Structure 1
Amino acid sequence: MRLTFALIAALTPAAAPAADFVFCWEGANGYRMEGQMTVPDEFLDDGLLTHDHVTAFSIQGFHNGAPLGSWDLSQLTPTTSWNLSFDPFGMVFPTGGMHDGPKGQAWNAGGRADDCGTPGFGFNSGTNAQDLCVNDTWITDSMINRYTRFPVYPAGTVDRDCGGVPVIGRGPDAAPARG
């Protein structure tokens, strides 16, 4: 019996070591988002990582401290807007590009930020702004500059900058077209 358990244990692959990260985002008018993700260590030297490299991901939204909603990978469906780009060397989510490209983010919210489900919550960083979706509604009051830096931190980091700052010389404070 012990031999059977030992054999099963020997043949069961061990979980690959992984790095856990946390992040927070401060939108306009009291909107805020917090989240966490896990990336297997084997990918951390690969440069720009995508949603295909992430093994765990979740976000929670707030308005003036009150919960708005949440989303995680267990809710992912074939129709979910899901694009993530992460630069582990710079410890940032690239921003300012198309929501579905390497410099954009679509976390249960596509380019119009109106497709997060009801009830639902999502985040979008596209060519117009960084903003939230709540219950299939684009929350325009949450919009901030599309180039605002979006830092990522190792799990356990206590002092996190959630406000970010626009990258110097990277466009106007607001852009008129949706991305």
Structure 2
Amino acid sequence: MRLALLLTLLPVSAPAAEFAFCWGGAGGHVLEGRMTVPDAALAKPLVTEADVTAFAIAGYLDGRPVGGWSLDELTPRTAWNLNFDPAAMEFVTGGYSTSPRGQAWNARGSVDDCGRPGFGFNSGAGSQDVCIDDTWRIDSVIAAETPFPVHPADSAPPCLAAPVIGTAPQSHPPPRS
């Protein structure tokens, strides 16, 4: 009887799904990442940052690592807005980065506040782009409405960073959360 009572007090992990994603910006910029979402949240029309239990991104420029960020680094001052449409299997794009139609992953709308060293991603009303070491990388900018697909982690296509001149393309494994 006591054992049964103790077992009910232990935390129980809810079943969760793991997803992988890859973003190709301009100028050789690539972002890849993973996130974990409890199965129950996937029934919602919009999964937000409040639902995500694990999240990590890594950035590459011309195939070379330039930084990363994960939920383990989240502070009250960190920009953290995520909107994922589980029915469409896409991150929502085209709206302000702090709205339900945008993304702010360690980078606000000015895209110059990701830390030094640091890396962040922003999808706002004007564009999608990255921040490296507190610097907006204007050379990474792509159109705001560009679709940003998400895949089940076990069936995601490889995310290839742009090759360094004179080398073969390299596949970088997504960060583990």
TM-score by length of 1: 0.84
Structure 1 residue 148 corresponds to structure 2 residue 161 = no
Structure 2 stretches lacking a partner, 5+ long: 161-177
- Describe how 1:1-179 pairs up with structure 2 within 5 A: 8-159=6-157
Secondary structure of the residue aligned to 1:152 is: strand
Give, in whole Å, the separation in 2 of the partners of 1:117 and 1:49: 26
Q: Identity of aligned pairs, percent?
A: 54
Question: 2:174 maps to which residue?
Answer: none
What's the offset of the Cα at 1:10?
4.5
Question: 1:176 maps to which residue?
Answer: none
> Is contact 2:21–2:156 with CA below 8 Å preserved after alignment?
no
> Is contact 1:153–1:160 with CA below 8 Å preserved after alignment?
no
What's the offset of the Cα at 1:143?
0.5
Secondary structure of the residue aligned to 1:13 is: coil
What's the offset of the Cα at 1:61?
0.1
Secondary structure of the residue aligned to 2:155 is: coil
Give, in whole Å, the separation in 1 of the partners of 2:46 and 2:158: 22
Cα RMSD after superposing both structures: 1.6
Give, in whole Å, the separation in 2 of the partners of 1:147 and 1:123: 15
What's the offset of the Cα at 1:161?
7.8
What's the offset of the Cα at 1:9?
3.7
Paired residues in the alignment total 160
4+ residue segments displaced more than 4 Å? 3-7
> Is contact 1:109–1:123 with CA below 8 Å preserved after alignment?
yes
Secondary structure of the residue aligned to 1:103 is: coil
The superposition leaves residues 34-68 of structure 1 with CA deviations (integer Å, 9 ceiling, x where unpaired) of 00001111111111111000000000000011000
Give, in whole Å, the separation in 1 of the partners of 2:51 and 2:41: 7
| Structure 2 residue identity aligned to 1:49 | V
Give, in whole Å, the separation in 1 of the partners of 2:2 and 2:66: 49
Secondary structure of the residue aligned to 1:159 is: coil
- Greater length-normalized contact order (CA 8 Å, ≥ 6 residues apart): 2
Give, in whole Å, the separation in 2 of the partners of 1:62 and 1:5: 50
| Structure 2 residue identity aligned to 1:96 | G
| Structure 2 residue identity aligned to 1:17 | P
Q: Which has the higher strand share?
A: 2
TM-score by length of 2: 0.85
> Is contact 2:111–2:134 with CA below 8 Å preserved after alignment?
yes
Give, in whole Å, the separation in 1 of the partners of 2:40 and 2:4: 27
